[in-house]
Amino acid sequence: MRFRLYIFCFFVCLAHSLFAQQRPIQSLYMFDPLLINPAFAGTQVQLSATATYRNQWVNFEGAPKTFTHTAHSGFRKNRVGVGYILTNDQIGIHDDIGFYGVYSYKLPLSKKATLSFGLQGGFNNLRSNYNLLNLKNQGDGSLSGVNSSFTPNFGAGLYYRQSKFFVGLSVPYILSNVIVGLDQSSATRVAQKRYYYLNGGANLKVSNKVKFYPSTLIRYQDDAPLSFDVNAFLVFYDAVGVGLSYRNNDAIIPMFELQINQNFHVGYAYDITTSALNQYSNGSHEIMINYRVKFAKIHKGLECPTYW
């Protein structure tokens, strides 16, 4: 009975990853918006490098583990942003590595408002090692060996920002690539779906010491239900942030962020699973570290955001 339950849950997770949400979901994306919108490149002016690790559905064997690394900076008096996105998503026997270069151009609309246009292009390489499976029927040749699939892709986005609010719209992965599964038959071919992200938020001053950052992210994927996050974040002294996020039909997420000094930010989020998977998992952990540095020759005379 326990073996059947494990197999059932494994394929629920696999189906969730391949069909319902093929790209990794993260909870601390508000501290690294480049992951969802290439038009964000260079918005923080100075060089900003972020590493995030997510351990999803703790205690669930074969559950996703995701590492992301991004770096970007503003150039040409911050009219141009350039960067890259590196990802590694592991689930069960599948290991997906992605790399994308990012470019943005900022059009000033006023002294406090800009409209950014962003592009990204790169690839994903999915490697599936079926030799790691513990099969009852060891003679099944379709469940052995190593399968690798290389899929190029590109995307685009828009990002409008004022001092008090922002809104972004993006389609980071436009191509609907077909990934061959266990063999060449159509029954095991999986089509990558197109994603649409709509993200918005505000910066509200509560007092000289406290700021309130409400935001939301709406995700839409072809042939999948609409998903959204609603986030509320309080920031004290432009250094310490605490917040709560709600993801529909999935999780409630307490979050914490700390600006250690002018260069380093760290963050942590814990997803309290609200779906049926909470019977088998204690939730998901996510940690983030961000490093920022200003170069005099490139960023001279430019104002950098103090928090986001």
Distance of CA 289 to the CA centre of its chain: 14
Give the pLDDT confidence of 174-183 residue by residue, as tens digits.
Answer: 998 887 554 4
- Could you tell me if 215 and 224 are in contact, meaning their C-beta atoms sit under 8 angstroms apart? no
Closest CA to 214 of 205, 206, 202: 202
Give the pLDDT confidence of 34-81 residue by residue, as tens digits.
Answer: 999 999 999 888 899 999 999 988 877 778 899 999 999 999 888 999
Give the pLDDT confidence of 171-221 residue by residue, as tens digits.
Answer: 999 998 887 554 444 445 667 778 899 999 999 999 999 999 999 999 998
Both structure tokens of 101: 């270069």
- Could you tell me if 215 and 255 are in contact, meaning their C-beta atoms sit under 8 angstroms apart? no
Query: Would you tell me how many other CB atoms lie within 10 Å of the CB of residue 111?
Result: 7
DSSP string, 45-59: -SEEEEEEEEE-STT
**Cβ neighbours for 63, distance < 8 A, ≥ 6 positions apart:** 13, 55, 56, 57, 91, 281
How many alpha carbons fall within 13 Å on the CB side of residue 199? 27
Helices vs. strands in the chain: H and E counts, helices first? 2, 17
Both structure tokens of 69: 């690394």
Task: Give this prediction's pTM.
Answer: 0.86
In this model, does residue 141 exceed pLDDT 80? Answer: no
With cut-offs at 50, 70 and 90, classify the pLDDT of residue 143: low
Over residues 254-261, the mean pLDDT reads 94
In this model, does residue 33 exceed pLDDT 80? Answer: yes
Rounded CA separation 169/155 (Å): 11
Over residues 147-162, the mean pLDDT reads 93
Rounded CA separation 165/174 (Å): 27
- Decide: helix, strand or coil at residue 34: helix
**Cβ neighbours for 303, distance < 8 A, ≥ 6 positions apart:** 45
In this model, does residue 279 exceed pLDDT 60? Answer: yes
Average pLDDT of the residues of the chain: 84
In this model, does residue 135 exceed pLDDT 90? Answer: no
- The pLDDT, as a whole number, for residue 280 is 76
Domains and CATH numbers, the chain: 2-132+145-292 (2.40.160.60)
